[in-house]
Structure 1
């Protein structure tokens, strides 16, 4: 092959810096001190720099002919992937001490080389592991996630002329003459010619940025060998047909227990479950997979004659080529494509028909499913949820994964801690102490002690017990239609609407909701008028002999329909309760941790500092965790009389999950995102209200939004059935919301906090269509 037609990565020519030079470079350029270990590199010289503590970095020294644009291309791609899908396990760029993505250093001959670094990813290389069906499907699904993240990224360097681009087979074709023996040469040449003839069909398929090299040597897996937890080496990225990416992985992720076709089918099924393949892509995959094998055999033959050292790494892959090609051709394209289609669809059909009946049989009839046509979900990423067939849903409802579904930082924190130690809080452990310190630092002064449990219900139960012990009284004030949890004690404090609402307990008094849209009072005096109902409730509790132990209140007033409460209402009621000797319990299970946007805690929006604050749901991004935060003297008065202990409350894994969640909330400025995105979303819904008379009112703050649906705007008549129809229609449009309020006519929008402006635009479009 002449110099004019030489392709990138045909020859292997990594630099030859010494270990000492690499260690000095890592410290001088990147500020990382450690021992250098040489790793394989086809075109780069790679060193792992191992510090005494931590994972260290991968130091990459590029060949002298490498272009800076290619480095900028890779850096941009990695940072784009991290933005689009933070949970994807891709390398993170480690910048120089000057904050640059790369720099240049000279070798002993004065030749400049680009140097860059990536954070080291711990894990086990998949190469050499026999992959089971679960790992193969997870591999396909992970690749699909990667391609989704890359779909809207582009860089001019994506046009690099790299030998591993299947479209370069035209230029590579003459080198097939070097293949021995003759029978294998004829087989490979036939596939190369076949692919060249098929290339016009490839040109008509979906194109985007692709990794183009996701084989077992570039993937890390978990210890159970069931899932991919690391993706490596983005040096061969190109803009190409999407099937090229799938073909590489399907062709090369194999073992010895099945046929090459079966291995490929499982990878394709996993991919298709996340990103459904288009009809024309199934036969194209057949052609691309055998072409990849022919390409490997040809490059190996060229290197054996021109670059023997570079050929060594391709030996095992090339040995697979002829048997795999023969297996595919013997079966025939129609049969193989039919198998690909069947394995991608069969399990989905089975689940769609069988799962609801199986669920009812073992979980009973009473466990409610959302939507008239239930949604079957198999995974989540950020603000999206995915069905088995790859259908993507924008999640605008679930507030438990507050920092996003599948958040990598939280998942890794849980995994590390579970693999190390998980025991109860009667042993010393630093994580729960650190979390308590970090948590109370976000609270007003005086709220300095934590009592850890496992859920919001348990937190409210514990806070209610504390209030009764401390005050010596047994009466509670709650909002009408309030919901505070599932325990027997807290259920009595939850006069939630619906057919199974409990009779009001004699020790509970409910307060009239301060609804300024459809309630009795509006205008300047509304707060005082609504707060006056607390006088009646307190008097009733005192007359019945219960007295006032506590006011328990959700500061977002979610179950009341996410009300815009008149200024001063909560503070006025709290003052009345305290004057009667009671405590104030701020239920922050739904409104806390930055969701309301303008304050980290919902109670702060009302100018109130509760005596006890209860937490749950989003505290650990889905890992069971809850807490009561209170003043030291209140907790002491309780624990002096009660030996309170929760086996799992505050355990090291829960603390690790909660710490990681708090880190993400603060590092990624998610409270600010909730403020700005929520404001944009409410403005958009107000705009829709000009066209859709069913929108009666738009309420809330941050990413806690209520949209009141009415049948007659002039009379503000609740329209619960219409609200349910809208929610169900949006579900079919790929956006998940809920309904709320005493009449069930309020659309409830409370997405994970990474929900951004483009997601708001998607929701508004779906809401417009649904209306």
Structure 2
């Protein structure tokens, strides 16, 4: 390899060609004029040309590049146009038919070409790329390599600084450009380690023509109507070369690392997608990460070099931060870990090693029984948040040892104690070790022959030919650096004993890792069970995907679930939900669990009452009377009768029946965009097309919907719009009167819940209630979502309008998840139903439900949850409103307390709903540890109805993450 050529090319500045000169060439050699816009490039000069003939790219490179190399690029473009579906630029011929011109500029030869411009957007400036886009990059890279496998040209045999075959030579030459000694040492060490890993693999790597620059700069995209990214084409074939095939994927993956938010495993979807379309050989999979590390080193060195010789090159200067981020991420984990992660991601296993016959590590305890302590997510040892106490795992272990004599944890059991509430990152919940409690002074012996040393992390480490064992809590009896025979005494136990086994003496393994890295680390740090003679491996849990398949095979799929691939949630605590891997998710939409999840009072009350009695309300027991009395104390004066049911749907259905019985009519007026339940009656008055796309065409003739009094995006807007919306109600009332049809009633959420927590215009309900009552109808306030103190300033939603309804329906938070609903009304309305027969709900008002209902009210008062909704909820709304000035996508913040809606729009004049963006935002928030879902007929409003125990810390975490996602670009 001609070193001088490589070094010369790595030191070239870009050609200096003015816009005037470029326009002159366009006119003289291509016969048209236009306007120019400079495009970035490290060593070339590119102009976008906008002309009457279309849009093109004028590419100018230095004459140092041989013409045959440029001809190879053109031949490659033509080959792909014929043999692939991948969109690539066409080469535009000059007036003389040539597709390549060699011209003079400032006394130097330059090569000039004109290519078709592919419209689209590169993704280099996006901080975050979704897994689907990452996979697209990998699939595209695989398809490109597959297409180019049959292409050849003399110009592909070239000396190119980006060719991984020359990385080590180039790095050695360019290292002096780094003036910081610490940075220089880090680059040198990373490059040397990568080179050592690559050397045994080089002869096994397939060679072919590759693009070698399929990056976020050179792939252009456009969003479709649903805001999904769609590939438009691949540009810039300047690095087309014949080299190792796997180099292409390494370049693509390296470019993805500056979108990784520090996590190198972000590349795995790209690797899996490439492998699916163009299977990689085992040696290529092993070589991939070392090539990425080498690429990262070349990027920073070449970038620093280019800026030093061409300070005016803003493209190179701006890219430096990306390149240093790529290097930081690429060197943040051991090479062995990434090799294992890549192999396991495509269904391969790490290279096997011979496992020796181990001698027992604790010879004096062979055959003794250990108590294996359950520290997992479902452990019965954990309740009421005690897992948050520092040292809880160790305390449980010590207590078990005090009873049983010997105790141990389980290898690979996700630890609940290591979950992290209000965190955007995965917690390191997976233990790569076993912790034991054994008698002090117990002998520890070498399970295999090796060399003993004291590790930097404080462990006593025995390194054998294939395995290393690390021990904490052992006082050695041998000197460091001595050779140890199998079975030789190493020391004695003097404290809590931790045991970890690893493949390789130099592997820097953690004691705990994150769930996404667990399979890779397990391959490198297998269970020490064989050394201990102890069956201490965790039992495999049913994974979320398999569970979902079982659910879909038996549970009617009309009963939807959140997210396409939901995590398995089996535990909750306060305003967080916890999956089986110990990841804590902030619950920002659960308006059922007002007290939060796992409340100990609810568990105690339910257990106590179940142990006594649970039956139906036809029996005479105190709880049903006591709970009814408690509810009436919360109701407006004059309301004196309670019905207890199981749900909001049942409550609203019963309310409609009461209206029918009391009025003698059947016709109901409801409000558009509202949801009242799923029973036949409640569904009939529900008009939300988000819940039922056919809602507006399937209403029975006794339901008369009126326009939603939406002050933000309705037909009439603003605080003074009530009279305009009332006219629609008057119109329907007049029609019913003319048809001599008796009105039964009017049902409405006092705050527009399903539409995003929008307050009704002032004066709307007073006017409507007056007119409905004047025509013999009753007024129903659906408080299922909004009532019970959630708004903070008001206990009932109708209080905001200053009205008193005839019937109040409620459910949701009444039972904190226990099926419990209620209807409160006046005696004369309640007794009107008796003429049609008695009413009965089998489980409504059961002793358990009543006791839980009263306990909810007690806890809400004792823990001042209404005050929390007011204070923290006020802070919440203020922080959300501040986003309006920061992000054009945020249109409005609706509601109050813990009953909020954030409406997303694409245009502040037209209020075009940002439906797709809202869906993307919710999915991205889930990745960051937050459960959120859209609501409203256009599904463009965040449904923010968290448990009423939600803290200021959780609110700030939510808004910070929301701000982050909005800043990433949707």
TM-score range, shorter chain: 0.5 to 0.7
Q: Does 1:650 align with 2:796?
A: no
Change beyond 3 A, Cα 1:690–1:446:
same
Q: 1: distance between equivalents of 2:732 and 2:775?
A: 11
Match of 2:561 among 360, 369, 373: 369
Q: 1:280 to 1:337 in 2, by over 3 A?
A: farther
Q: How far apart in 1 are the matches of 2:375 and 2:745?
A: 53
* 1:591-740 alignment, distance < 5 Å: 591-740=786-935
Is the Cα–Cα contact under 8 Å of residues 531 and 572 in structure 1 kept in the other structure? yes
Residue 5 of structure 1: aligned partner: none
1:584 equivalent to 2:734? Answer no
Whether 1:469 and 2:615 are equivalent positions in the alignment is: no
- 1:630-686, CA deviations, whole angstroms, 9 ceiling, x for partnerless residues? 111211222243211111110100000100001011111111111111111111111
Corresponding residue SS for 1:380: strand
Q: Map residues 8-47 of structure 1 onto 2, 5 A cutoff.
A: none
Distance change in 2, residues 1:427/1:366 (3 Å):
closer
Does residue 490 (structure 1) correspond to residue 682 (structure 2)? The answer is: yes
Which one of the candidate residues 604, 629, 632 is aligned to 1:412? 604
How far off its partner does 1:529 sit? 1.2
Find the aligned partners of 2:598 and 2:669 in 1 and give their Cα distance: 38
- Unaligned runs of 5+ residues in structure 2 are 1-369, 421-425, 444-491, 503-525
2:744 is the counterpart of 1:549? yes
* 8 Å CA contact retained: 1:141, 1:270: no
SS in 1 for 2:545: helix
Q: Using the alignment, how far apart are the partners of 2:644 and 2:909 within structure 1? A: 48
Indicate conservation of the 8 Å contact 1:561/1:742, yes or no: no
Report the alpha carbon displacement of residue 526 of structure 1 after superposing the two structures with TM: 0.8
Q: For 1:548 and 1:423, how far apart are their aligned partners in 2? A: 38
Contact residue 384 and residue 600 of structure 2 kept, 8 A: no
SS in 2 for 1:549: strand
What residue is the counterpart of 2:285 in the other structure? none
Q: Give the C-alpha shift of residue 553 in structure 1.
A: 0.9
Question: Where in structure 1 are there 5+ consecutive unaligned residues?
Answer: 1-129, 151-208, 212-242, 298-323
Q: Distance in 1 between matches of 2:676 and 2:497?
A: 64
Match of 1:755 among 950, 954, 959: 950
Distance 1:144 1:265 in 2: 23
Q: In the alignment, which of 516, 534, 540 is matched to residue 347 of structure 1?
A: 540
* Mapped partners of 1:486, 1:576: distance in 2: 28
Measured after TM superposition, the shift of residue 762 of structure 1 is 0.9
Q: Cα distance, 1:528 vs. partner?
A: 1.1
Question: Do 2:810 and 2:822's aligned partners in 1 also have CA atoms closer than 8 Å?
Answer: yes
Corresponding residue for residue 769 of structure 2: 574
Specify whether residues 277 and 629 from structure 1 end up closer, same or farther in structure 2 by C-alpha distance, changes over 3 A only: closer
* Change in 2 beyond 3 A, CA 1:727/1:249: farther
Q: Which has the higher contact order (CA 8 A, sep 6+)?
A: 1
1:580 & 1:296 partners in 2: Cα distance?
A: 89
2:703 to 508, 524, 527: 508
In 2, the alpha carbon distance for the partners of 1:728 and 1:423 equals 42
Shift of 1:376: 1.9
CA shift for structure 1 position 210: 3.0
Specify which structure has the higher proportion of helix. 1
Partner of 1:424: 616
Pick closer, same or farther for the CA change 1:140–1:272 going to 2, 3 Å: farther
Q: What is the distance in 2 between the residues matched to 1:337 and 1:272?
A: 22
Distance 1:402 1:532 in 2: 37
Does 1:142 find its partner at 2:142?
no
Aligned residues: 515
User: For 1:279 and 1:416, how far apart are their aligned partners in 2?
Assistant: 34
Gap change, CA 1:251 and 1:539, over 3 Å in 2: farther
Given that 1:380 and 1:406 are in contact with CA atoms closer than 8 Å, whether structure 2 keeps it comes out as yes
Mapping for residues 92-103 of structure 1, pairs under 5 Å:
none
TM-aligned CA deviation for residue 593 of structure 1: 0.8
Q: Equivalents in 1 of 2:535, 2:943: separation in Å?
A: 39
Q: Cα deviations across residues 698-744 of structure 1 (Å, max 9, x unaligned)?
A: 11011110111011123211111111111111111111122111211
1:528 is paired with a residue of what secondary structure? helix
Tell whether 2:483 aligns with 1:290: no
Q: Secondary structure at the match of 1:265?
A: coil
CA deviation string 1:4-32 (max 9, x = no partner) = xxxxxxxxxxxxxxxxxxxxxxxxxxxxx
Contact 2:729–2:768 (8 Å) recurs in 1: yes
Cα contact 1:450–1:629 (8 A) shared by 2: yes
Residues 479-516 of structure 1 show CA distances to partners (whole Å, capped at 9, x for unaligned) of 10211111112111111214543312100111111112
* CA offsets 1:594-623 (integer angstroms, 9 cap, x no match): 001111111111111111111111111111
SS at match of 2:837: coil
Q: Distance in 2 between matches of 1:734 and 1:415?
A: 32
Task: Give the 3-state SS of the residue equivalent to 2:758 in structure 1.
Answer: coil
Structure 2 CA distance, aligned partners of 1:632 and 1:381? 40
Distance 1:147 1:413, change over 3 A: closer
Q: For residues 221-270 of structure 1, what are the alpha-carbon distances to aligned partners after superposition, in whole Å with 9 as ceiling and x for unaligned?
A: xxxxxxxxxxxxxxxxxxxxxx6446425645759xxxx67x63289556
| Per-residue deviation, 1:576 | 1.2
Kindly report which structure 2 residues correspond to 1:238-253, keeping only aligned pairs within 5 A, or say none.
244-245=394-395, 247-248=397-398, 251=401
Mapped contact 1:141–1:274 kept (Cα < 8 A): no
SS in 2 for 1:647: coil
Post-superposition CA distance 1:90-144 (Å, at most 9, x none) = xxxxxxxxxxxxxxxxxxxxxxxxxxxxxxxxxxxxxxxx999989874476189
Structure with bigger gyration radius: 2
Q: Which residue of 2 aligns with 1:480?
A: 672
1:210 corresponds, among 378, 391, 399, to 391
RMSD of equivalent CA atoms:
3.3
Pairing of 1:127-138 with structure 2 (within 5 A): 138=378
Residues 1:428 and 1:546: Cα distance change in structure 2 (over 3 Å): same
Q: 1:722 to 1:472 in 2, by over 3 A?
A: same
Instruction: Quote the offset at 1:338 in angstroms.
Output: 6.0
- Name the structure 2 match of 1:264: 409
SS for the counterpart of 1:399 is coil
SS in 1 for 2:759: coil
SS in 1 for 2:751: coil
Report Cα offsets for 1:283-315 as digits up to 9, x if no partner.
3x53xx235x42899xxxxxxxxxxxxxxxxxx
SS at match of 1:441: helix
**Structure 2 vs 1, CA of residues 466 and 713 (structure 1 numbering), >3 Å: closer, same or farther?**
same
Change in Cα spacing, 1:690 to 1:254, as seen in structure 2 (3 Å) is: farther
Query: How far apart, in 2, do the equivalents of 1:368 and 1:399 lie?
Result: 17
Pair 411,273 (structure 1): closer, same or farther in 2 beyond 3 Å: same
Distance 1:751-1:721 versus aligned 2 partners, 3 A rule: same
Matches within 5 A, 1:86-125: none
TM-score, scaled to structure 2: 0.50
Deviation at 1:543, TM superposition (A): 4.2
Does the CA contact (< 8 Å) of 2:642 and 2:825 recur in 1?
yes
Residue 40 of structure 1 is matched in structure 2 by none
In the superposition, relative to structure 1, how do residues 680 and 329 fare at CA in structure 2: closer, same or farther (>3 Å)? closer
Question: Is this contact kept in 2: 1:140–1:269, CA < 8 A?
Answer: no
